[in-house]
Structure 1
Protein backbone atom coordinates (compact mmCIF):
# COMPACT_ATOMS: atom_id res chain seq x y z
CA UNK A 1 0.00 0.00 0.00
CA UNK A 2 1.35 3.42 -0.99
CA UNK A 3 0.99 6.30 1.43
CA UNK A 4 0.44 9.71 -0.12
CA UNK A 5 0.43 12.98 1.72
CA UNK A 6 -2.21 15.64 1.33
CA UNK A 7 -1.83 18.39 -1.21
CA UNK A 8 -0.19 21.56 0.13
CA UNK A 9 -0.93 24.95 -1.38
CA UNK A 10 2.03 27.17 -2.23
CA UNK A 11 2.62 29.92 0.30
CA UNK A 12 3.01 32.36 -2.62
CA UNK A 13 -0.61 31.94 -3.77
CA UNK A 14 -3.44 34.31 -3.08
CA UNK A 15 -7.06 33.23 -2.66
CA UNK A 16 -8.67 30.84 -5.14
CA UNK A 17 -7.68 27.72 -7.02
CA UNK A 18 -5.16 29.33 -9.42
CA UNK A 19 -2.21 28.10 -7.41
CA UNK A 20 0.47 25.47 -7.36
CA UNK A 21 -0.06 22.48 -5.07
CA UNK A 22 2.59 19.94 -4.05
CA UNK A 23 2.20 16.48 -2.57
CA UNK A 24 4.86 14.01 -1.46
CA UNK A 25 5.04 11.18 1.02
CA UNK A 26 8.37 9.74 2.20
CA UNK A 27 9.83 7.43 -0.43
CA UNK A 28 7.42 8.53 -3.19
CA UNK A 29 7.50 10.92 -6.10
CA UNK A 30 6.85 14.61 -5.59
CA UNK A 31 3.64 15.53 -7.41
CA UNK A 32 2.87 19.07 -8.57
CA UNK A 33 -0.55 20.21 -9.76
CA UNK A 34 -2.39 23.41 -10.57
CA UNK A 35 -5.20 22.40 -8.17
CA UNK A 36 -5.48 20.17 -5.10
CA UNK A 37 -6.72 17.37 -7.33
CA UNK A 38 -4.58 14.54 -8.76
CA UNK A 39 -6.55 14.78 -12.03
CA UNK A 40 -4.78 18.11 -12.65
CA UNK A 41 -1.28 16.70 -12.17
CA UNK A 42 1.27 18.57 -14.27
CA UNK A 43 4.55 17.14 -12.96
CA UNK A 44 5.85 14.13 -11.07
CA UNK A 45 9.53 13.95 -10.17
CA UNK A 46 11.92 12.35 -7.71
CA UNK A 47 12.44 13.91 -4.31
CA UNK A 48 16.13 14.46 -5.12
CA UNK A 49 15.31 16.35 -8.32
CA UNK A 50 12.68 18.43 -6.49
CA UNK A 51 15.19 19.33 -3.77
CA UNK A 52 17.70 20.42 -6.44
CA UNK A 53 15.02 22.51 -8.16
CA UNK A 54 14.09 24.26 -4.90
CA UNK A 55 17.75 24.89 -4.07
CA UNK A 56 18.34 26.61 -7.42
CA UNK A 57 15.15 28.67 -7.11
CA UNK A 58 16.11 29.86 -3.63
CA UNK A 59 19.64 30.77 -4.76
CA UNK A 60 18.38 32.81 -7.71
CA UNK A 61 15.86 34.79 -5.62
Structure 2
Protein backbone atom coordinates (compact mmCIF):
# COMPACT_ATOMS: atom_id res chain seq x y z
CA UNK A 1 0.00 0.00 0.00
CA UNK A 2 1.42 3.39 -0.96
CA UNK A 3 1.05 6.62 1.02
CA UNK A 4 -1.53 7.77 -1.57
CA UNK A 5 -3.73 4.70 -0.88
CA UNK A 6 -3.72 4.94 2.90
CA UNK A 7 -6.62 6.69 4.66
CA UNK A 8 -5.71 8.68 7.79
CA UNK A 9 -8.38 9.45 10.37
CA UNK A 10 -8.88 12.91 11.88
CA UNK A 11 -6.70 13.31 14.98
CA UNK A 12 -4.02 10.87 13.78
CA UNK A 13 -0.42 12.08 13.40
CA UNK A 14 0.48 13.23 9.87
CA UNK A 15 3.15 10.82 8.51
CA UNK A 16 4.22 12.88 5.44
CA UNK A 17 3.91 16.65 4.87
CA UNK A 18 1.72 17.46 1.88
CA UNK A 19 -1.72 18.13 0.51
CA UNK A 20 -4.40 15.70 1.63
CA UNK A 21 -7.85 15.15 0.15
CA UNK A 22 -11.01 13.88 1.83
CA UNK A 23 -11.57 10.24 0.86
CA UNK A 24 -15.26 10.72 -0.07
CA UNK A 25 -14.30 10.96 -3.76
CA UNK A 26 -16.03 14.28 -4.44
CA UNK A 27 -12.77 16.27 -4.46
CA UNK A 28 -14.29 19.12 -2.47
CA UNK A 29 -12.15 19.18 0.67
CA UNK A 30 -8.35 19.56 0.84
CA UNK A 31 -5.95 20.18 3.70
CA UNK A 32 -2.26 21.09 3.77
CA UNK A 33 -0.73 19.17 6.65
CA UNK A 34 2.73 19.06 8.25
CA UNK A 35 4.48 15.85 9.32
CA UNK A 36 4.13 15.33 13.08
CA UNK A 37 0.99 17.48 13.41
CA UNK A 38 -2.54 16.08 13.74
CA UNK A 39 -5.06 15.69 10.92
CA UNK A 40 -7.99 18.10 11.20
CA UNK A 41 -11.62 17.00 11.46
CA UNK A 42 -13.64 16.64 8.26
CA UNK A 43 -16.41 19.13 7.55
CA UNK A 44 -19.90 18.04 8.55
CA UNK A 45 -21.05 18.09 4.92
CA UNK A 46 -18.38 15.55 3.96
CA UNK A 47 -19.35 11.88 3.81
CA UNK A 48 -15.74 10.67 3.97
CA UNK A 49 -13.99 8.96 6.84
CA UNK A 50 -10.47 10.37 6.54
CA UNK A 51 -7.66 11.95 4.55
CA UNK A 52 -5.62 10.55 1.62
CA UNK A 53 -2.32 12.01 0.43
CA UNK A 54 -2.83 13.89 -2.84
CA UNK A 55 0.65 15.42 -3.26
CA UNK A 56 3.68 15.15 -0.94
CA UNK A 57 5.44 18.40 -0.01
CA UNK A 58 8.75 16.93 -1.20
CA UNK A 59 9.22 14.30 -3.90
CA UNK A 60 9.74 10.94 -2.24
CA UNK A 61 7.83 11.95 0.92
TM-score class, shorter: under 0.3
Higher RCO (C-alpha 8 Å, min separation 6): 2
TM-score, normalization by structure 1: 0.27
Higher strand share: 2
